[in-house]
Structure 1
Amino acid sequence: MPKQLRKADDVSLNSPSLITRIQEQSISFFIDLANATQYLKTVFNNFFTKKFEFQEFLKQCYQIGNKSVGLISITGIIIGLVLTIQSRPPLVQFGAVAMLPGMVAISIIREMGPVITALISAGKIGSSMGAELGSMRVSEQIDAMEVSNTHPINFLVIPRVLAATVMIPLLTLYADAIGIFGSWLGINIKDDMSFQLFLTQAFINVDFLDIIPAVIKSFFFGAVIGLVGCYKGYNAGRGTESVGIAANSAVVTASLLLIIVDLIAVQITDLL
C-alpha cells in the first residue's frame, strides 16, 4: 500500500499544472500564427512574382465543381423544402401565404445558400486538399519539388486556392437556384402554384443588393477554404497519421473561420 501511494504521489507531481498547460498552448498558438502569417506572405508574393500554372488551375476547378455538384444539389433541394414546410404554418395563421416564396428566396440568397455551400465545401474540398498535400508531404514529394526548385507553392497551393475562390461563388449560385426550386416543390405539397407564378412572387421582393453581398462573401469563403486546406496539408507532419490530422484540422479550422467571416460580412452589409 505505501508503494502504491508513492506511485500516485509521483504521478501527481509529474503531471503538468494548469499554468504550464496554458503556457504550452499559448506558445503553440503563437507559433502556428507565425507560421500561418509566413505562409500567407509566401503565397501572395509568389502569386504576383512567379509563373502561374493555368493548366493545374483548370484541373482543380473541374475537380472542385465535379465533386461537389451532386452533394450541393441534394442539400439545396432539402434546404428549400425544409424552409418552405416549416415557414408555411405560421404564415397561414396570419393569412400571408403569398409572402412565402419571397421570404424563402431572400433567406436562401442572403444566408442559407452561401453558408451551407461553404460549410459543405469545407468538409469535402478542404479535407481533400489537406489529405492530398499531407500525403505528398509524408511521401517527401514536396521536399523533392523544393530541392529541384520547381516552386511547390505555385504548382500545388496557388491553383487550388484560386480554383476554390472561383468555384465556390458558382456553386453558391447553383445552390440558390436549386434551393428555390426545392421551395416550389415544398409549396406544391399543400397548394397548387405554377412555377412562373412562384418565381414572380419570389423575385418581386428580392433586390439586386441582396445578391451582390452574398456573392462577394462567397469569394472570401472560397479563399478561406483553399488557404486553410492547403496550409494544413502543406505543413503536415512526417508520420502517416499526420494525413488524417491535416484533413480533420482543415475542416474544423475552415468551418470556424467561415462562421467568423460570415459574421463580419453580415455586420458590414447591415451598415450599408
Structure 2
Amino acid sequence: MLASSHEGEVEAGSSYLLGFLTNSISSFQEFLFLSGRAFTNILRRPHYYGDVALQMDIIGVGSLSIVLLVGAFSGAIIALQMARALSTYGASSQVGTIVSLTLVRELGPVLTAIMVAGRNASGMASELGSMKVTEQIDAMRALGTDPVQKLVTPRLIATALMLPCLTVIADAVGSVGAYLVSVPLLHIITGRQYWGTFWRALVLNDLAQGLGKPFVFGMIIAMVGCYYGLQTTGGTQGVGRSTTQAVVVSSIWIFVVTFFFDKIFVNLT
C-alpha cells in the first residue's frame, strides 16, 4: 500500500517536471520566434518612426528622474563605503579609481537596466496585455497591420537606443555624487586627485562594457516585456500576472547576461 502510494507520488512528480520542461521549452521557442520577427521588421517597411520617437520619449525622458536619483546616490554610497575601507590601508587617494571602474563597468549599466525594467518592461507588458485581452491585437490583424511591426519593433529600437544614453547619464551623476562625498563632505581627497584617478582608471575595455551591456539589456527588456504582454490571457488578472512576470524575468536575464559579458571581457584582457 505504502509502496504504491510512493510510486504514485514519484510518477506525479515526474509528470509535473516533464510538463514544466515542455512548457518552458515551448515558451522559449515562442520568445525566439517573436524576437526574430521583431529584429527582421527593423529592415522592412513600413517603418513607424513616430511610434519609435514616442517610445524613446516614454522610455528615455520618462525614466530620467529615476535614473538621476539612483545614479547620484549609488555613486555617493560607493564613495562613502570605499573611503572607509581604503583609509584603513592608506589608499584613500584611489577612491576615484574604485568609483570609476565600479560605476562604468557594473553598477551604472545594471542599476539603470533594473530601473528601466521595473518601469518600462512592466509598462509594455500591461499595455500590450490590455490590448490583447480586449482583442485590439486581433483587430489590428484584421485591418492588415502586423502587430509585431507596429507594437514590438518600435519598442525594441527605442529601448536599445535609450538605455545606453540613460546609463551614460547615470554614470555621470554617480561620479558627481561620489565627488561630493569624497571631497566636500569627507575631505579625504582633493578634487584634482579624484578626477585624475577617475579618468586614468578607464580604458577602452571598460567603455566597451559600459556601453555594450545597456544596449543588450535594452533589447532584452523590450522583448521580454512585449512577449509577456502578447501572451496575456485571463482578463485583468492575466494582465497583472504578465506584468509581474515581465519584470522578474527581465531582471533575471540582466544578471545572467552581465555574468557572461564579464566572462567574455575578462578572457579578452
Length-normalised TM-score, structure 2:
0.91
Map Cα deviations across residues 220-259 of structure 1 (whole Å, 9 max, x no partner).
0100001111111112114221111111111011111111
2:206 maps to 1:210: yes
2:145 maps to 1:163: no
Deviates more, 1:184-193 or 1:75-84: 184-193
Question: How far is the alpha carbon of 1:210 from its aligned partner?
Answer: 1.3
**Contact map agreement 2:129 2:242 (CA 8 A) in 1:** yes
Q: Paired residue for 1:184, among 179, 184, 187?
A: 179
Q: Which residue of 1 aligns with 2:53?
A: 58
Question: How far is the alpha carbon of 1:44 from its aligned partner?
Answer: 2.7
Counterpart Cα distance in 1 of 2:231 and 2:84: 51
**Contact map agreement 1:56 1:159 (CA 8 A) in 2:** yes
2:138 maps to 1:143: yes
Counterpart Cα distance in 2 of 1:37 and 1:192: 51
What pairs up with 1:96-135 in 2 under 5 angstroms? Answer: 96-135=91-130
Q: Paired residue for 2:24, among 25, 29, 43?
A: 29
Instruction: Specify the SS of the correspondent of 1:185.
Output: helix
Question: How far is the alpha carbon of 1:200 from its aligned partner?
Answer: 2.2
2:221 maps to 1:225: yes
Counterpart Cα distance in 2 of 1:27 and 1:102: 48
Counterpart Cα distance in 2 of 1:196 and 1:150: 58
Percent sequence identity is 29
Specify every segment of 5 or more residues in structure 2 that has no aligned partner in the other structure, as ranges: 1-7
Specify every segment of 5 or more residues in structure 1 that has no aligned partner in the other structure, as ranges: 1-12
Question: How far is the alpha carbon of 1:196 from its aligned partner?
Answer: 4.9
Instruction: Specify the SS of the correspondent of 2:90.
Output: coil
* Cα RMSD after superposing both structures: 2.0
Counterpart Cα distance in 2 of 1:28 and 1:205: 47
Counterpart Cα distance in 1 of 2:108 and 2:41: 33
Counterpart Cα distance in 2 of 1:215 and 1:53: 26
Question: How far is the alpha carbon of 1:142 from its aligned partner?
Answer: 0.8
Map Cα deviations across residues 165-187 of structure 1 (whole Å, 9 max, x no partner).
00000000000001101101111
Question: How far is the alpha carbon of 1:194 from its aligned partner?
Answer: 5.6
Q: Which residue of 1 aligns with 2:87?
A: 92
4+ long deviations beyond 2 Å: 44-50, 192-198
- Count matched residues: 261
Length-normalised TM-score, structure 1:
0.90
Question: How far is the alpha carbon of 1:192 from its aligned partner?
Answer: 6.7
Deviates more, 1:158-167 or 1:97-106: 97-106
Counterpart Cα distance in 2 of 1:260 and 1:166: 21
Counterpart Cα distance in 2 of 1:257 and 1:50: 31
- Structure number with greater Rg is 1
Instruction: Specify the SS of the correspondent of 2:244.
Output: helix
